[in-house]
């Protein structure tokens, strides 16, 4: 368990470097949609720190895939729910997502649809690579008896 906590913190700290970048991207889109506001120093500091927290949790939660006793679908579910809660809480706290049923519903649908698309792509990419390696191993096994007879 200690190893997982250490890995969570390490991965989180690595991802933290992206917090201000996330903050800048969010504000870029807010400004492009005409909803950006002039920020006070306190608001800017709060949003930078919360973006760091968002990135820290998002980077650290990847350790669920290192827990060997956790089935893949359980790890994906834990990962998705933690990311969702991380994003929705920070977005609501900072006012990046309006409170209310419809904005939350739209965000939820978009988040989980995007999550499903990304994981589908990852799954098929890994499956294709595994199939390719299995074919190569099969070919090597077929060639091995021929070499042993020489």
Q: Note whether 51 and 90 are within 8 A (CB).
A: yes
Half-sphere exposure of 93 (CA within 13 A, CB side): 15
Distances (CA, A) of 43 to 53, 54, 93, 98, 134: 15, 16, 11, 17, 54
Give the model's pLDDT for residue 43: 87
Domain ranges, ordered by start, for the chain:
2-97, 111-150
Residues of the chain where predicted confidence (pLDDT) is lower than 70: 18-19, 145-150
Cβ(58)–Cβ(16) below 8 Å: no
Q: What is the pTM of this model?
A: 0.70
Residues 26 and 21: their CA atoms lie apart, in Å, by 9
Cα separation, 52 vs 58, in Å, equals 10
pLDDT of residue 114: 95
Question: What pLDDT is stored for residue 39 in this prediction?
Answer: 78
55 touches 15 (CB < 8 A) = yes
């Amino acid at each position: 368990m200690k190893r997982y906590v250490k890995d969570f913190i390490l991965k989180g700290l690595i991802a933290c470097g992206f917090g201000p970048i996330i903050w800048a991207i969010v504000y870029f889109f807010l400004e492009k949609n005409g909803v950006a506001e002039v920020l006070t120093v306190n608001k800017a500091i709060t949003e930078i720190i919360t973006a760091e927290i968002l990135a820290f949790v998002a980077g650290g939660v990847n350790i669920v895939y290192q827990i060997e006793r956790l089935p893949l679908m359980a790890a994906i579910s834990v990962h998705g729910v933690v990311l969702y809660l991380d994003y929705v809480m920070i977005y609501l706290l900072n006012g990046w997502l309006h409170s209310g049923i419809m904005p939350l519903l739209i965000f939820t649908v978009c988040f989980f649809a995007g999550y499903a698309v990304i994981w589908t792509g990852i799954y098929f990419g890994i499956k294709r690579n595994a199939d390719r390696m299995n074919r190569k191993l099969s070919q090597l096994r077929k060639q091995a008896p021929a070499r042993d007879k020489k």
